Structure 1
Amino acid sequence: MHDRPGRDGPRTVSRRDALIYAISAPALLAFGPMTATLTAQKASAAEVRLIDFTHRQVPPEQIKAAGFGGALVYVSELRPGADFDFKPVTRGYADALRATGLHVVSCYQYGKPGWPTPSDYTRGYDGGVADARTALRLHSAAGGPASAPIFFSIDEDIDLDIWKSVAVEWLRGINAVLGVNRTGVYGHAQVCAWAIADGVIGRSTTPGHWWAWQTKAWSGGEREPRAVLYQSVVVTASDPGVRLGGTNVDVDEVLAGDFGQWDLDRA
């Protein structure tokens, strides 16, 4: 994620073209619906890259022209003192992404270390309830479907003690509003693993995957294989990330056919 400096480590940029479902689907369907679905999921997971915003949003046509398959959008309010134009996502921008054929995934982050508004997870269970209500309201207002998950950010290097004492309770508060099935988390490799182990995030419809969005930051080179997204390029004070549409963006690899995108029917 997100709007923050201070992450380090080498960055690599990969810009593969997004999978065009309309091209592959007819051939796949010749082998039957289930085979087509599973094959398409594997192919899409190998090809699609998303972006997430750090300062300014990018016009949808520029995202598509650069070879990305979509964007993570923020269903959170803009904290006092910030000047970003991507929080909260508007219905107009979300519709424009979808009309361009791009995937949309919802994420939430309001507070941040070093600001008067501290990291969201530090507010525990009651904070989770409040954050989930805000996220649900803004997700729905932007046209987000009732089956899509929302990824909630733990955007710092927490340890197991902090997880057990505070962060997991925050996610349980979110569960109380959204339900576990629609709760996702963003964080380092261990955060993703802890969330899966403690049952506070939901399962993707892709077997073996949960609503975990791993960042390379603080992960020490570790990978959580059950995640659906991996943030491989991270904008920091020392690394500009990827320049796109006159701004700098993070890049996220898609690891599963169902990675939380709005346009997938999970009924």
Structure 2
Amino acid sequence: MEHSVSRRDALRYAAAASAAMAGVGAAAAAGAPHARAAAPTLIDFAAAQIPADAIRAAGHAGVINYVSLSRPGSNFGAKPITRPYAESLTKAGLVIVSNYQYGKPGGTAPSDFTRGYAGGVADAKTAWQLHTAAGGARNAPIFFSVDDDIDRQTWNDLALPWFRGINSVLGAQRTGIYAGIRPCQWAAADRVIGNSRTPGHVWAWQTRSWSNGQIYPAAVLYQRIIDTASNPGPLIGGVRVDVNDVLAQDCGQWNFHQ
């Protein structure tokens, strides 16, 4: 989809993207409402590859894209991210963050975190292969999804061993989590996710779901808008997207971890 953008808007969008790339886009303290409103935003999506110019025209600084395959019976056009697409985003001044999610509750493949230590090993190897094939930075983190409202027992019995398996391949410093507030906190406490270069922040990409209106102060990303059938997200390049606030200068973007 083509967009007509004024010169003033184009300069504003370019400045936002440059700020995120330089790691200074979210210098204000995380957790303050005005800071979140002023922060750069990244979009995440699966249905199709959204053209870089459409993302910039919508005012976003970059993307969180999948380094995982589509589940059986599905064919998501943005899974996995490809090198040509990644290069088009980078050329446009957009940043990229990597995320892994294959299974889903009630989907054709079970939630990834239920696969235990051996599953974590396998998932990390797949994620790393797809991440590097697309040109992902070797020191950048990959966020692994806990896309469900789990309790502490489920974390201890299932998700934690899965993350230990991921750590055995990538190391904790290159491991991140996508989840509600509690698993983000547990992952940090159990030291299965790494630290951002922004002081006081860890590789936690927190979703608004299952977070009871709270934001984890150490998170680097916050999924504020979630696309659902009853509450559709913004339409960009013909694709409905989720929108994420950048809460730390270093949110795991590839170009910051070359």
Tell me the TM-score normalized by structure 2: 0.87
CA RMSD, Structure 1 to Structure 2 (Å): 2.2
Is the Cα–Cα contact under 8 Å of residues 18 and 48 in structure 1 kept in the other structure? no
Distance 2:46 2:78 in 1: 9
* Residue identity opposite 2:27 in structure 1: K
Change (3 A) 1:163 1:264: same
Determine what percentage of the aligned residue pairs are the same residue: 54
- What amino acid does structure 2 have at the position aligned with 1:194? W
Alignment-derived partner of residue 42 in structure 1: 27
> Is contact 2:25–2:39 with CA below 8 Å preserved after alignment?
no
Answer yes or no: is the 8 Å Cα contact 2:16–2:25 preserved in 1: no
Indicate the larger mover: 42-51 or 151-160: 42-51
Identify the residue that residue 251 of structure 1 maps to in structure 2: 243
- Is the CA contact 1:157–1:188 (under 8 Å) kept in the aligned structure 2? yes
Q: Secondary structure at the match of 1:214?
A: strand
Within 2, Cα distance between the matches of 1:162 and 1:219?
17
Tell me the amino acid that sits aligned with residue 223 of structure 1: I
Paired position in structure 1 for 2:32: none
Residue 155 of structure 1: how far off its partner (Å): 0.4
Q: 1:139 is aligned with what amino acid?
A: H
Residue number in structure 2 paired with 1:58: 50
How big is the shift at 1:20? Answer: 4.2
Report the CA distance between 1:77 and its aligned residue. Answer: 1.1
Q: Does 2:163 align with 1:178?
A: no
Counterparts in 2 of 1:38 and 1:63: CA distance versus 1, 3 Å: closer
State the partner residue of 2:99.
Answer: 107
Aligned to 1:187: 179
| Pairing of 1:24-35 with structure 2 (within 5 A) | none
Q: Deviations over 1:88-128 (max 9, x none)?
A: 11100000000000000000000011123100000011100
Report the 3-state secondary structure (helix = DSSP H, G, I; strand = E; otherwise coil) of the residue aligned with 2:153: helix
Deviation at 1:18, TM superposition (A): 6.6
Match of 1:11 in 2: none
Note the C-alpha offset of 1:146.
0.7
Is the CA contact 1:55–1:84 (under 8 Å) kept in the aligned structure 2? Answer: yes
Q: Residue deviations 1:188-208, cap 9 Å, x none?
A: 001110000010000001000
- With the length of structure 1 as denominator, give the TM-score of the two structures: 0.85
**Alignment check: 8 A CA contact 1:157 1:218 kept:** yes
Go from structure 1 to structure 2 and tell me whether the alpha carbon gap of 1:23 and 1:73 turns closer, same or farther (over 3 Å shift): closer
Q: Contact (CA 8 Å) 1:19, 1:48: kept in 2 or not? A: no
CA offset at residue 177 of structure 1?
Answer: 0.2
Contact between 1:17 and 1:48, CA under 8 Å: does it hold in 2? Answer: no
2:221 to 223, 229, 233: 229
Tell me whether 1:261 sits opposite 2:253 in the alignment.
yes
**Equivalent in the alignment of 2:199:** 207
Give the distance between the partners of 2:54 and 2:227, measured in 1 at CA: 19
Displacement of 1:78 in angstroms is 1.3
Residues 265, 131 of structure 1: alpha-carbon distance in 2 compared, 3 angstrom cutoff: closer
The 3 A distance-change label for structure 1 pair 19 and 201 is: farther
